[in-house]
Amino acid sequence: MSESKAPGSMSDLEIALKATLRPIEEIAAEAGIPPEALELYGRFKAKIDPAKLTPRPGKAPGKVVLVSAMSPTPAGEGKSTTTVGLADSLARAGHKVMIALREPSLGPVLGMKGGATGGGYSQVLPMDEINLHFTGDFHAITAANNALMALVDNHIFQGNELGIDPRRMTFKRVMDMNDRSLREVVIGLGGPVQGVPRQDGFDITVASEIMAVFCLARNLADLRERLGRITFGYRYDRSPVTVADLGIQGALALLLKDAIKPNLVQTIAGTPALVHGGPFANIAHGCNSLIATETARQLADIVVTEAGFGADLGAEKFMDIKARIGDVAPSAVVVVATIRALKMHGGVPREQLTEPNAEALAAGVENLRRHLHNVEKFGITPVVAINRFGSDSAAELDWLLDWCAREGVQAAVADVWGRGGGGDGGDELAAKVAAAVASPSSFRHLYPLELSVEGKIRTIAQEIYGADGVEFSVPAQRRLADIRRNGWAGLPVCMAKTQYSFTDDATVLGAPKGFTIHVRDLIPKTGAGFIVALTGAVMTMPGLPKEPAAMRMDVDADGNAVGLF
Amino acid sequence: MSESKAPGSMSDLEIALKATLRPIEEIAAEAGIPPEALELYGRFKAKIDPAKLTPRPGKAPGKVVLVSAMSPTPAGEGKSTTTVGLADSLARAGHKVMIALREPSLGPVLGMKGGATGGGYSQVLPMDEINLHFTGDFHAITAANNALMALVDNHIFQGNELGIDPRRMTFKRVMDMNDRSLREVVIGLGGPVQGVPRQDGFDITVASEIMAVFCLARNLADLRERLGRITFGYRYDRSPVTVADLGIQGALALLLKDAIKPNLVQTIAGTPALVHGGPFANIAHGCNSLIATETARQLADIVVTEAGFGADLGAEKFMDIKARIGDVAPSAVVVVATIRALKMHGGVPREQLTEPNAEALAAGVENLRRHLHNVEKFGITPVVAINRFGSDSAAELDWLLDWCAREGVQAAVADVWGRGGGGDGGDELAAKVAAAVASPSSFRHLYPLELSVEGKIRTIAQEIYGADGVEFSVPAQRRLADIRRNGWAGLPVCMAKTQYSFTDDATVLGAPKGFTIHVRDLIPKTGAGFIVALTGAVMTMPGLPKEPAAMRMDVDADGNAVGLF
């Protein structure tokens, strides 16, 4: 996060380590979680068993506030920070609130990415532990994924009764690591006793379909079912072969039986947060587990959650994938905007984003306008959160507030990074969001499931991105036929597109018109229950930079993290 | 474990699930662990921060009882079961006792191996969780190992400033999985942006040098130091290159900062047990973490611990590696013997081991005799634990007790599997062990560190195995020269030899004479601080059988494990 300003030179980690944490039992008790539903992981983390919660007497499930964003700059616009700060401000205003957030992935933490736990005075804690192993959920998902592939390759080695074609495997092993060297590998070398050689590769754990399944399951039994439906490859006769065909969905569910319980932590201000699951936002749907969101609804009146990337991707998938499976339709959508991002979309090069530029602002706001209109297409009134950066001038902020007022959109400047939602940094935003939550909304999905996969993709491209049309590559057309033949056409679509543009070209900023979306391939994720549409190269195993963050990391003699952001 | 008899047809898992567990805080309080040193992981597991323990006033550190065994049958002779049962019986007799055990590896659990948590009525609990992810220690070790290799390959990719020779890498990636297909792989394929191609392979996590380092470190600072000393490969100029050369020992230690705290659990009888770490017993030293053993000594009067394989391997390494680094010299060594194993060493084929055979017993007891003499070479008086199986006749057991009496060796029949140490199954054994602990011993290492590596290997082979001599292959001789040149000759030796025979040929049973040990290669483990001497093929990545145990595993709707053993 680059909002760095108010707290002088203190890093996120320094702010986090200075915060006084309360015992997680206290946070749980205030949140209405009975002790028998709580499984402690150290002093400040706990898992919650949703089966041991009882509905609050006389209370409806909480309303969902989805935090999304305009098309972001590469540095990100501060969605997690806004999510945390907004929740803190809502709590400060007396609302019973709970946060639902994604868990960070370890690989990028060792590379260069900031944490995914918010920033400044709007963080979930203990940020060092959440950013490292946390409660081991991602390790359990890694183990389940790799157990599946070990069992598949063993099946082939032991005689291949199912007739699995080793050249048509669609599932890979994973590691929660940025490890470029594992992108393309050959395995099973060494002769007849070491396996059957085949071309393969590793993805990062968050790209595993098991992560997506984990985040869309309603409970353990549903998780087991969905694991069984995963297609990991094809037989020599081209028919799909699933985990249930191997009969190991029970073993995989067993490996996930504790991980599937949501993790409770607290913000710097003491607001309860469920941090659980974290699928990729391109080849998956990019939001925390459905179980966490539904559990939070059981416990609080307002649940603040986020979805990855901009609203064209994260919010659309939240509405059309997650909110079809679970009862989590948002009552309000917050669209995070920054002066920096508006200027970038107005054509300003990255190194000049801190300089005032009224024309660029006016041009770039068209990107925000399209996202706001998109939110309305789902029947929800958006609220703009202007995430304040140190370089923003009062004139720029006022201009944007005026623009929103002219457009009839609720908006507020939020300084939750510098002042914290526990301070007064998000009071105005919280008031506007609370009003939006209280006013009626009429949620609807963008498309019906009965529409063909092609039709679903065209609808998203035209209605949300503003494209003229969609072009399907020859392989994609062939895959569409496979999808129909295999009976998967009723699944929703998960678009894998760059987050930087409404188009499939990351360099086309603003609110472009007259463009075509190119679908180069389709990947059926039958366990997660969606069809991924690839509109460009998607990196599913990141690499490390020349100076990885790991070089700065250390631990002091008392066991405290050093150099973690 | 195949002791199955008394409790009818109940499996280890069924017995474990019927046991009533007490909250781990209660177990901790009784063990003298203050609440501030305790970090709960659910209701029945906790990590202990050794830095927050204070020495017991007026009490010396507890005495160590090492449980070892005669050369085992492939089914194992029940060392873990005896360790747990003996400790329960010592507790029943009023001693303040604590167990220190290895953590099980997930890979073999999914394959075919029974758990490593004891059996019958002598188990540590919750056995299902301990056998699955437990508190995530092995996942943290996997992550640290693979972070190291991702950073190494990234260093090569980014320009290779250190001049690392990709053909002379001695460190591999790991996975806690039985995955035959990963034994030999080629990584870094896909062209210039995907890495530098090289031949590679994966080991199972317990074979990682980081696991050995983890188990020999005295504290977090020592762990960090030892991680820095790991040699992961060689430069083009043939000089060794270490983790400290890359400057990432801090990041690796950070990844292990919580894992390094020992895990507290309880036995069925409620005896406290520290279950922590679990290195291979061939290419590593095969016992739980030094931190766990030393922590247990701080808390109890008697610490019962075990070492992998037979006494020729596990006990020798305990004495010559672990007890050189930490203050854990045993006051007594229990040698587990079974009627089955004695008959096998007397030449009876595996399928006839349940039939009486007095001659074979008399012949096979020579194997036990050599192990007992070996224990005495370390200045310690052994106690024989006869682990009773359902097929043992009273005549056979009496014969063995008589033999021990004639040899002047303390011995007792233990039925800790069927009756439990919490019952009366181990009372006599406990009494004899307590007497041995109370009597004076004069511990000594087998060899001084000043001896050459060659000399150390010859000493072990001749003194412990009973070999005439040692033959070094040409590569091993070259490696001996490298070791001298690199200044590693002062390290102790870690023998990698079959556990089934005193020789390096698994089929030569009993107490053979007139044989030669063949050292085919030497692997310096400069982080762990020993030189591995390979005397045969060592499998560092197991495979799965045709019908993996995973096929039977499941989880019920309440989240309980099903089919786990």
Write the pLDDT tens digit of every residue in B69-99.
999 998 888 999 999 999 999 999 999 999 9
B154 and chain A in contact, CB less than 8 A? yes
- For residue B140, the chain A residue with the least C-alpha distance is A133
Q: What is the pLDDT averaged over residues B153-164?
A: 97
Of the residues B79, B261, B388, B432, which is catalytic? B79
- Determine the pLDDT at residue B454: 98
ipTM of the complex in this document: 0.95
The CA-atom distances, in angstroms, between B95 and each of A103, B122, B300, B302, B304 are 46, 17, 9, 7, 12
> Which one of A150, A159, A257 has the shortest CB-CB distance to B177?
A150
**Facing A157 at nearest CB: one of B175, B180, B553:** B180
Of A186-190, A417-421, B269-273, where does mean pLDDT reach its minimum?
A: A417-421
- The answer to whether B154 contacts A248, with C-beta atoms less than 8 Å apart, is no
Q: How far apart are CA B265 and CA A321, in angstroms?
A: 42
Q: How close is the nearest chain A Cα to the Cα of B358, in Å? A: 40
How distant is the Cα of A171 from the closest Cα of chain B, in angstroms?
Answer: 15
B199 vs A190, A456, B156, CA distance in Å? Answer: 11, 45, 14
Q: Do B177 and A220 lie within an 8 Å CB cutoff?
A: no
DSSP A61: P
The verdict on whether B45 is a catalytic residue reads no
Other Cβ atoms closer than 10 A to B508: 14
* DSSP-assigned letters across all residues of A193-250: GG---EEE-EEEGGGSHHHHHHHH-SSHHHHHHHHHH-EEEEETTS-EEEHHHHT-HH
CA–CA distance, A265 with A489 (Å, rounded to integer): 39
Chain A contact for B369 (CB, 8 A cutoff)? no
What does the pLDDT read at residue B563?
87
Let me know: does B540 contact A235? Beta carbons within 8 Å.
no
* Amino acid A410: pLDDT: 97
Handedness of CA B414, B416, B421, B424 (dihedral sign): negative
Mean of the per-residue pLDDT values of chain A: 95
**pLDDT of the residue at B137:** 98
Report phi then psi at A38, rounded to 5.
Answer: -105, 130
What is the tens place of the pLDDT at every residue in B447-497?
999 999 999 999 999 999 999 999 999 999 999 999 999 999 999 999 999
What percent of chain B is modeled with pLDDT above 90?
Answer: 89
Percentage of chain A surpassing pLDDT 90?
A: 89
Contact between chains at B546 and A159 (C-beta distance less than 8 A): yes
> According to the model, what pLDDT value does residue A2 have?
40
Domains annotated on chain A, with CATH: 12-131+261-438 (3.40.50.300), 137-256 (3.30.1510.10), 453-535 (3.10.410.10)
By the 8 A CB rule, do B541 and B202 touch?
Answer: yes
Pairwise CA distance, residues B234 & A264, whole Å? 45
**Backbone phi, then psi, for B124, in 5-degree steps?**
-95, 145
pLDDT band at residue B441 under the 50/70/90 scheme: confident
Residues A254, B562: C-beta atoms closer than 8 Å: yes
Annotated active-site residue A113? The verdict is yes
Q: Determine the average pLDDT of the residues in A546-564.
A: 91
Query: At residue B9, does pLDDT exceed 80?
Result: no
**Choice among A138, A232, A280, A417 that is catalytic:** A417
Per residue in A300-321, pLDDT (tens digit) is 999 999 999 999 999 999 999 9
pLDDT at B2: 39
Q: Judge whether B309 counts as a catalytic residue.
A: yes
Per cent of chain B over pLDDT 70 is 98
Pair B307, B314: CB distance under 8 Å: yes
Q: How far is A118 from chain B (nearest CA, A)?
A: 21
Read off the pLDDT of each residue in B221-237 and give the average, rounded to a whole number: 98
Q: Does A444 touch chain B (CB under 8 A)?
A: no
B102 is catalytic: yes
Please check whether residue B36 touches A, CB under 8 A: no
Whether A417 is catalytic: yes
Chain B residues whose beta carbon lies within 8 Å of the beta carbon of residue A146: 175, 177, 179
pLDDT in tens, A214-239: 999 999 999 999 999 999 999 999 99
Min distance B144 CA to chain A CA atoms (Å): 10
pLDDT of A563 over the 90 cut: no
